[in-house]
Chain A
Amino acid sequence: MSQVVIQTENEVTKKNRPLKKLLSKFGPLIGLVLLSSVLTLLSDKFLTVNNIMNIARQSTINALLAIGMLLPILTAGIDLSVGSVLAISVMFMGIVSVNLGMSPIVGILVCLLMGAGFGWLNGILLTKLRLPHPFISTLGTMNIARGIALIVTAAAPIAGFPYMIQFLGREFVGPIPVSFLLVIVVYVIFHIFLTRTQTGRYIYAIGGNPEAARLSGINVDRVLIIVYTISGLMAGLAGLVMVGRVNSAFPLAGLSYELDAIAAVIIGGASFLGGVGTVWGTLIGALIIAVLRNGLNLLNVSADFQMTVIGAVIIAAVYVDVLRQRKSKKS
């Protein structure tokens, strides 16, 4: 073959300076470390074993929802229904295992299957009915699920769950909450799923270019249904943890939790345009939100003000990312 040397303007990207690479790869982590350092200086209660475990426990529900949310966002979609799906899952678990007195194992299964079932429905609405964007299908199921959760229990909470159901959300191994260990296990599984399995890689492909993915023989609809089913399943699992923590299921549980989950994914460096985002980034995003809430509590900042700060952090985090990308595109 001929020996034409083709140079591109972007050849430089491969000799990117190491510091810059480090910054872009560990940006969210650096943010978390900085935030923690500042809080350590401001409050002597922050850096204690007790408080760290507290943060770990507080982060779990959002961490579970966020890792589920990562998948739709990787495919350039979104799942607005997770908060409501969490509620309907725990209400049915309550009906089965408290009101009807059935085995807690059945209750747990109902909870997880309800979550996965609604997720599957989201996938079907998107791929078979061809609704134009998952924002719409999941906005619909968000209201449907919340409505059913209110109807079936006449808006009343259900309390008094068996120990087995409460275990995940309540117990500790030494000082470490079981729920946080669960998060670690789930995240490791997701990491392997997304980086080392065919379906996981296809998720990135679909987010990057759905038409190229389809013409490369990828069954796009099937992958999308899996994506939304998993997102729903994680909402059910988050519900299980929540019930253990508060020993009660109530129909307004998880109200607007989808927004914190989206925030965690985005702070963790995922792109709304799809195809870009990592499991560990999402974990750090969830931890940043938890640390921020905890720190502001320690500093006696009111809940209203906390919302304002978290809003600002979301914008700042994404803006830093935008700046970084603009820079790398120019060079």
Chain B
Amino acid sequence: MIAHAENLLEMKGIKKSFHQNHVLKGIDLDVKAGEVHVLLGENGAGKSTLIKILTGAYQKDAGEIYWEGQLAQLHTPVDAIKLGIATIYQELNVIPHLKVYENIFLGRELKKKGKMSLLDRKAMLEEAKRCLQMLGQSPDLADQKLGDLGIGQQQLVEIAKALALEAKLIIMDEPTSSLSAKEVEQLYNCVEQLKAKGIAIVFISHRLEEIKRLGDRITILRDGFKIETLPVKTTDPDYWIELMVGRTLDEKFPKQTFPLGKEGFRVENIEVAGAPGPVSFSVRYGEIVGIAGLVGAGRTELARAIFGADPSRNGKIFIDGKEVKIKSPRDAIDAGIAFITEDRKGEGLLLDQKLDFNIVMANMKKFKKKSRLIDLKGIREEAQRFIKELKVRPDNIDLNARNLSGGNQQKVVIAKWLCTHAKVFIFDEPTRGIDVGAKVEVYRLMNQLVVNGAIVIMISSELPEILGMCDRVLVMSEGKITADLPIQEATQERIMKAATGV
């Protein structure tokens, strides 16, 4: 086989198994210099494994990798870096106490010649400034403490680091998943700059709009196979999804409308961390209320205040017209409130505990017998029931939560809250980082909750999902609710206007 010279990277027939489990079943991928090549696939389709082979973290079982037309050996991460392959992971690899330029040169600091190898701070600063400028950033950033920067800028520092390493190919693994709208814009610009310099980008994303906007070509993976590589501009996202899930997805948003009932949940003048004044709103039975806004608008803080997650704050909360006193998460749970947090791993799961324990964690007292011992069999049965109901895969309650994919982890977190028999469900970014199929399942579950007489509130930064699933939209900006729109009046434009406060 001869590699095509115009390709920077060519992977051919890549196979990889873990024990008997074939994860990659012969994948081809070619990437040209100066293109943004998107990888799309459901969780578990093989994207991360493929990337890990490319970065030298895993060894392929079969297949060849050509780099600039030459057969390349990738045995360790160092091999990949030497070739010019850099990776920006979802979880950033930076050290917050160090300055930006120190992060950029971490592990390969420049030293002064002949002076007992003292560090050449000046040279490093200069080079760091040059790389930051290439990304359209202010050179002054170089001397700041990294921890003082926002998450978006920290990510740009990582990209600057890749430039300092003279990377020719940068892999970005869902780089926008935790950025605010403004930071996302900045990253898009930066990607354009990199493209213009002839740097190739392998871009992993679940967000179809951004793929459409940034991508040149898209490769779709499913069950360890490459399904197809297509030009982005001339193909339809619905077709990509069809290829990705292997069937036509009836609808992205399975919205159902229910008759509107009486008011079931009301928040009166609650104090929210960082907000200028108290916040009030109410939700009626039969509706799903979305809370839209930019990152940092105070939406998560509002949810935390309702849930008693931060030290007690003033304000009244009513469920079915009766006031409930909430001083701690325990009070909130006892009052029937569930809070599905944004950060699954950090705030939702016990990664090294089995699924059954994760599921009953918030309602263990239900399983306390008269002897004060807990009913282990009862716990297993209850967990098994939820796993079946929510179609968690693999459906083995003896697995630790760590071993599940993102979408399935999210289902376990939701199961935990279903298990508390809550009446009010607050979802904070419930579909972040999970694939399209799992998203639809989460939406269906919200419908189910409404049918069963629960109050459902969804905080989301994804406007399509707010518009697709909610009956009413609250928009927050700088700690205030700036708009309360019935879905018929909610347009992308009106929401963005209220969110940016113009």
Contact = CB atoms under 8 A, between A and B. Distances in A.
A159 to B, nearest CB: 42
A146 to B, nearest CB: 35
B364 A11 contact: no
Contacts, number: 136
A214 B23 CA distance: 37
A237 to B, nearest CB: 22
A48 interface: no
A198 B350 CA distance: 16
A8 interface: yes
A128 to B, nearest CB: 14
A215 B309 CA distance: 7
Contact of A192 (B351, B361, B373): B373
Contacts of B368: 198
Given A2-B249, A198-B365, 11 more contacts: A4-B438, A4-B441, A8-B408, A9-B21, A9-B23, A14-B396, A15-B20, A205-B357, A216-B362, A217-B330, A217-B333
B441 A1 contact: yes
Contacts of A22: none
Nearest to B405: A8
A200 to B, nearest CB: 8
Interface in A1-42: 1-2, 4-15
Contact of B350 (A8, A11, A208): A208
Given A197-B373, A209-B350, A214 B329 contact: yes
Interface residues of A, number: 37
19 contacts: A2-B444, A5-B393, A6-B42, A6-B44, A6-B408, A6-B437, A12-B21, A15-B19, A195-B376, A198-B364, A205-B361, A209-B350, A213-B361, A214-B309, A215-B309, A217-B334, A275-B350, A331-B18, A331-B19
A276 B352 contact: yes
A219 interface: yes
B335 to A, nearest CB: 11
B154 interface: no
Contacts of A197: 372-374
B111 interface: no
B425 interface: no
Contact of B362 (A4, A5, A217): A217
Interface of A: 1-2, 4-15, 192, 195-198, 201-202, 204-205, 208-209, 211-219, 275-276, 331
B341 A215 contact: yes
B438 A6 contact: yes
Contacts of A2: 249, 437, 440-441, 444
A233 to B, nearest CB: 19
B469 to A, nearest CB: 16
Contact of B416 (A216, A219, A275): A216
B44 A215 contact: no
A196 B376 contact: yes
A4 B364 CA distance: 31
A285 to B, nearest CB: 20
B433 interface: no
Given A197-B374, A216-B362, A6 B393 contact: yes
Nearest to A206: B350
Interface string B314-332: 0000000000000011101
| B contact patch SS | mixed
A10 B438 CA distance: 18
Contacts of B334: 217
Interface of B: 18-21, 23, 42-44, 48-49, 223, 245, 249, 307, 309, 328-330, 332-334, 339, 341, 346-353, 357, 361-362, 364-365, 368, 372-374, 376, 391, 393-394, 396, 398-399, 403-405, 407-408, 416, 435, 437-438, 440-441, 444
A101 B48 CA distance: 72
B399 A14 contact: yes
B333 to A, nearest CB: 4
B35 to A, nearest CB: 28
Given A9-B21, A15-B20, A208 B373 contact: no
Nearest to B346: A211
Contacts of A14: 394, 396, 398-399
A91 B441 CA distance: 64
Contacts of B441: 1-2, 4
A162 B468 CA distance: 79
A196 B333 CA distance: 22
Contacts of B437: 2, 4, 6
Contacts of B404: 8, 10
B394 A8 contact: yes
A15 B21 CA distance: 10
A1 B391 contact: yes
Nearest to B362: A216
A10 B406 CA distance: 13
B44 A1 contact: no
B18 A215 contact: no
Nearest to B441: A1
B350 A205 contact: yes
B351 A208 contact: yes
Contacts of B362: 216-217
A130 to B, nearest CB: 12
Contacts of B330: 217-219
A331 B49 CA distance: 12
A246 B74 CA distance: 65
B394 A215 contact: no
B374 A8 contact: no
Contacts of A214: 309, 329
Query: Sorted from nearest, which 9 A-B pairs have the closest CB atoms?
Result: A4-B437, A208-B350, A10-B403, A216-B362, A217-B330, A217-B333, A196-B373, A12-B19, A7-B44
A195 to B, nearest CB: 8
A278 to B, nearest CB: 13
Contacts of B245: 4
Contacts of B405: 6, 8
B444 A205 contact: no
Nearest to A192: B373
A275 B361 CA distance: 14
Nearest to B49: A9
A219 B327 CA distance: 12
Contacts of A213: 350, 361
A5 to B, nearest CB: 7
A208 B347 CA distance: 11
Nearest to B21: A12
A68 B97 CA distance: 36
